[in-house]
Chains A and B, each alone.
Chain A
């Protein structure tokens, strides 16, 4: 098993930290992980992306040519990365910000109204965790309990309210995918 996840969006949407959370979850399951961010003249509101690999084998290159899953947070990222998706792979889109549908027909597309669901959970800030919940339900690389444990470690220090909001966001993303099936 080697999952190659591309996460892309605006700077400030939690793209890079979502990649880290996915790594932590993979590590909890004793998988090898790597996290490679785009870096450069990135600013808040500009584009940000990271490549995350979760594998039961040694990870040779931290860069991949084609993703097995893609989490796209905004429209420019969709246009930039759509062609990266491996045929048959999953693309999860933040449908709240992406108006145009996928042009690819050979992928599994999931349109998640992530911004709305995040606000429903308590704040737009947990947009990335909504997308994570959707990813967990769509791809099964890491299970929900493991991700919940990582969120508890990540947000625990920020207080119960923040933690609960993120757990709600995770659940809303997951439930949305499950009810779409």
Chain B
């Protein structure tokens, strides 16, 4: 199929529709209003459900309801809206319900601003709600990757029975790039017999629940969830490595930030500058620990740098992965400011010259 020029917020919706998303519930917020707008236009024509809820809290609980019935369901929002959904997300994880949640991050904390940010990394990867749980968190860097990962997210959510988050930023929602759709290759359809789809003349009762008063029972449920998480860690980690071999400096960055870092690395290569490698996590959870550990362990590597649109969140995972073998430093801007290529280049050059420009 030919590539079409689409806005990120529209492309993700079309990708979800292609993956068979049957219902979308959401509440508008910049910079992703085009997601509900696009679903509102397309879903009724397909005989599927679009509903603008009265709040984000209502949206996520509608997602809970639809997911309980085994329906492919999605919601999207931006940072403050995702914060409002955290209770529901914890319940979805606890009740082992598959769904896809997209967060087009904007500056925070609080109501913050509307410009792009990556300051919800902790919230996404550590479980923003209560209790012992994780989401699978994808961090696309291009619109094509966002489309491909969104389609896969529905399959992964059903295969492991958990919510999957697409963690993008405002840039990916607002920019346009050509995308190729219509190329979805689904995974083997997961067993969905757990879904509450009615008695149907003798089907065992499907109980969707997150309340377990007996601690022994609750612990058992949590342990089972963590068995699943280990399986995910073994099979689903995704990472892109760019010019890592023999590099003097390893930069960690994801999403839009990784694209800026990549352009700086390409410029440095052309100018005969220091050899710099990029490790770009595509899954933020599970985190590609081994890729960072291996890259940093190379003899050529003197230091590791995390570049983020935040005050430094992923850098903590990088430090855990590098485990003290090499110094790990951080550079970032926050509040909706995006580190420029010039700023990133200066940071890189300073580190490569032992702190001297």
Contact = CB atoms under 8 A, between A and B. Distances in A.
Interface of A: 20, 23-24, 27, 32-37, 39-40, 59-65
B5 A61 contact: no
B174 A36 contact: yes
Interface of B: 3, 5, 30-31, 114-115, 170-171, 174-178, 256, 259-260, 262-263, 266, 338, 340-342
Contacts of B338: 63
B122 to A, nearest CB: 25
Nearest to B341: A65
Nearest to A34: B177
Contact of B260 (A32, A40, A61): A61
A179 B105 CA distance: 49
B325 to A, nearest CB: 29
Nearest to A41: B114
B117 to A, nearest CB: 13
Contacts of A61: 259-260, 262-263, 341
A60 B263 contact: yes
Given A23-B5, A39-B114, A61-B263, 8 more contacts: A33-B177, A34-B175, A35-B177, A36-B174, A60-B260, A63-B260, A65-B341, A65-B342
Given A24-B5, A60-B266, A63-B341, A39 B174 contact: yes
A133 to B, nearest CB: 21
Most buried by B among A36, A60, A65: A60
A63 B262 CA distance: 12
Contacts of B171: 36, 62
A94 B295 CA distance: 51
16 contacts: A20-B5, A23-B178, A27-B5, A35-B175, A35-B176, A36-B174, A36-B175, A37-B174, A39-B30, A39-B174, A40-B114, A40-B115, A62-B177, A62-B259, A63-B340, A65-B340
A61 B262 CA distance: 7
A51 B341 CA distance: 15
A20 B7 CA distance: 11
B176 A23 contact: yes
Nearest to A36: B175
Nearest to A37: B174
Contacts of B340: 63, 65
